[in-house]
Amino acid sequence: MLVHGFLSSASQWQPNLAALGEVCQPVTAELWGHGQSPAPPQRDLYSPPAYVRQFEAIRCELGSEQWFVCGYSLGAGLTARYAYDHAEHVYGHIMTNSSSGFADHELAAGWRESAEQSAQAIEQGGLAAIDRIAVHPRRAKKLPSSVYNALVHDARSLDPVGVANAMRETSPYASIRDIAHVNPRPALLCFGTRERRFQALKDWALDNMSNLQVVSLDAGHAVNMEDTPGFDTAVCQFIEQCLISSTP
């Protein structure tokens, strides 16, 4: 299961599906208010524990006893927490650069403090306010044109309620620092080396997260889209490695 990041959609995985399909059956999931997912008004549905319950419901609906989960940016904190809570159903999990997933207490506290004001601005300003967010896909000019165009198209359907509630309930609480040291399943961090602000968080993960391996890729934040061959190779090898080690 592949989970995208904030203001993104399942379209971000387009370049990877063919390669991943050689070693697994890719399934994409979209966060509330993103892509084709609805934006329920209940704020508690946007919390990381609620997303974990949704992911588990997807697994049960698919009838898969064990699977891999992969999270990008904000999605990485959610899939890593799922792998912790439901380790018995996870072969391994993959993450990309995720400031929210590895945020320290001070950083997360700052997001919580500003969340309500930012969320209200989105609710009041609608798509125009979303368009001004720094990580809006329209600013990702380094992406392949086909992916860029698809993400910009999908961004027109972003729901202000869903985006606002992600700011309130998801991003400020997505950090896995409290569980990283007892991460129970093999994990792969695909590190985009050109995102320098993530370097310190990557170093923290290497020093503190159990069962973690890191592969460095020539990419910025959009790891799987900027270095598609490198990402695909690393993830496919990781999947094959986990499956071999899980065989009795």
87-138 pLDDT, tens per residue? 999 999 999 999 999 999 999 999 999 999 999 999 999 999 999 999 999 9
How is the chain split into domains, by residue range?
2-246
List, for residues 4-31, the tens digit of each pLDDT value: 999 999 999 999 999 999 999 999 999 9
pTM (2 d.p.): 0.97
CB of 89 within 8 A of CB of 66?
A: yes
Query: CA-to-CA distance for 53 and 58, rounded, in angstroms?
Result: 9
Task: Name residues whose C-beta falls within 8 Å of residue 29's C-beta, 6 or more positions apart in sequence.
Answer: 1, 2, 3, 10, 54, 55, 58
CA distance 102 to 78: 11
User: Which region holds residue 33: left if phi is over 0, alpha if psi is between -120 and 50, else beta?
Assistant: left
Domain 2-246 coded CATH 1.10.3470.10 = no
Q: Which of 170, 115, 161, 130 is nearest to 4 (CA)?
A: 170
Structure tokens at 72: 């990008």
Query: Mean pLDDT for the chain?
Result: 97
Element (H, E) at 48: helix 48-62
Contact criterion met (CB below 8 Å) for 180 and 209: yes
How confident is the model at residue 210, as a pLDDT?
98
What pLDDT, on the 0 to 100 scale, is given for residue 247?
76
Find where tokens 């919580």 sit.
112
Q: How many CB atoms lie within 10 A of CB 197?
A: 9
Q: What is the DSSP letter of 10?
A: G
pLDDT tens string 65-100 = 999 999 999 999 999 999 999 999 999 999 999 999
How far apart are alpha carbons 9 and 194 in whole angstroms?
A: 22
Residue with tokens 């524990």: 49
134, exposed or middle or buried, with CB in 10 Å at 0-12, 13-18, 19+?
A: exposed
CA–CA separation, 120 vs 160, rounded Å? 10
Span 136-165, average pLDDT: 97
The two three-digit tokens of residue 57, written as one number: 């419901």
Residue 69, H or E segment: strand 67-71
Task: Please give the Cα distance from 204 to 11 (Å, whole number).
Answer: 30
pLDDT at position 85 is 98
Q: Does residue 103 contact residue 174 with C-beta atoms inside 8 Å?
A: yes
